[in-house]
Structure 1
Amino acid sequence: MASLRLTFAVVTAIVVACMHLPTTLAATGYVVGGANGWSMPQKPNHYENWTKGKRFIKGDAFFWVFKEGQHFVVEVPSKEAYDACNTTASTEVDGTGGLIEYLVDVKTHYYVCKYHCSKGMKVIIDIKAS
């Protein structure tokens, strides 16, 4: 009987793990901004172009790479705040340049550099369920 309980527990654990495996394998890691990381854009709409063709899903990892003190990443609450570079109601994300953020909220996220938003340092990351 003890052997049957142990087998049931092992099979249950395997089934639960397999149920989560497809979403785990599907998650991707991104350096925000690509090869240049989170930096002053050399071209207009750099970050908009960086997101084109990418499908971001729940659980994807985003690496904010920049030299500490040069930039400060904040998430603003709306498209209006994003467009206006209004960081009044923002949520601080990173000022050190080494953050890895796993986005699990299925929604559109609006990120800006607190210091250089008006110069085009901002990105919209739209997270899908899968």
Structure 2
Amino acid sequence: MIPPPPRKILPFGKDYKVGDSNEWRVPEESDFYSKWSEEKQFHVGDNLLFYYNDQVDDVLEINSDLEFRFCDTTSPVAVHNGGQDLIRLTKPGIRYFITSKIGHCEAGLKLRVVVRPLSTSVAKKTQLSPFGRLIKWLHDSFRPHPHH
């Protein structure tokens, strides 16, 4: 497998291989992908990596929960069919992915991802270790105050 290209923007994002070892294919349990995405926290800057057999499936991004529920492929936002697709999560909100192959979406090959905003406070906190935060807190709390 070819590793994904190096990132040019948002270097702090995580890569999520959709479906892990199952990849993007009709699952044995129809709720497999909903369970897979519920166990994770996706943030702006993360990437979804879809690996699949491009002779069998594709990835359609669609707009709404209704289209998602009914596997409606009539007006996709984007169509991916390369077999290895990297999809960047660039803004907060819900993203919906299905396949256009008849019966596959109905069998559970669909993914709903809740993308959380990347708040600046989160980015700053992660740069300091817990010990570093303690030192900063001690430093800020017990700084000598100048007397007038």
- Same fold, judged at TM 0.5 (above): yes
1:80 paired to 2:55: no
Q: Which of 97, 106, 127 does residue 83 from structure 2 map onto? A: 97
TM-score norm. by structure 1 comes to 0.77
> In the alignment, which residue of structure 1 is the partner of 2:105?
117
In the alignment, what sits opposite 1:126?
A: 114
Whether the 8 Å contact between 1:69 and 1:96 is mirrored in structure 2 is no
Identical amino acids, percent of aligned pairs: 24
Give unmatched runs, 5+ long, in structure 2. Answer: 1-9, 119-148
Does the 8 Å contact 2:50/2:86 carry over to 1?
A: yes
SS in 1 for 2:16: strand
Select which of 11, 24, 31 maps to 1:38: 24
Q: Distance in 2 between matches of 1:83 and 1:46?
A: 15
Normalized per residue, the structure richer in strand is 1
Distance 1:91 1:104 in 2: 15
Contact 1:74 1:91 (8 Å CA) reproduced: yes
- Work out the CA distance in 2 between the residues paired with 1:42 and 1:129: 32
Counterpart Cα distance in 1 of 2:91 and 2:117 = 9
Kept in 1: contact 2:52–2:58 (CA 8 A): no
CA distance in 1, matches of 2:22, 2:80: 17
Q: How many residue pairs are counted as aligned between the two chains? A: 107
> Distance between the aligned counterparts of 1:114 and 1:68, measured in 2?
12
- Structure 1 CA distance for aligned equivalents of residues 109 and 117 of structure 2: 26
Secondary structure of the residue aligned to 2:68 is helix
* 1:24 corresponds to 2:11: yes
Larger Rg: 2
Shift >4 Å, 4+ stretches = none
Contact 2:15 2:49 in 1 (8 A): yes
CA RMSD in angstroms comes to 1.2
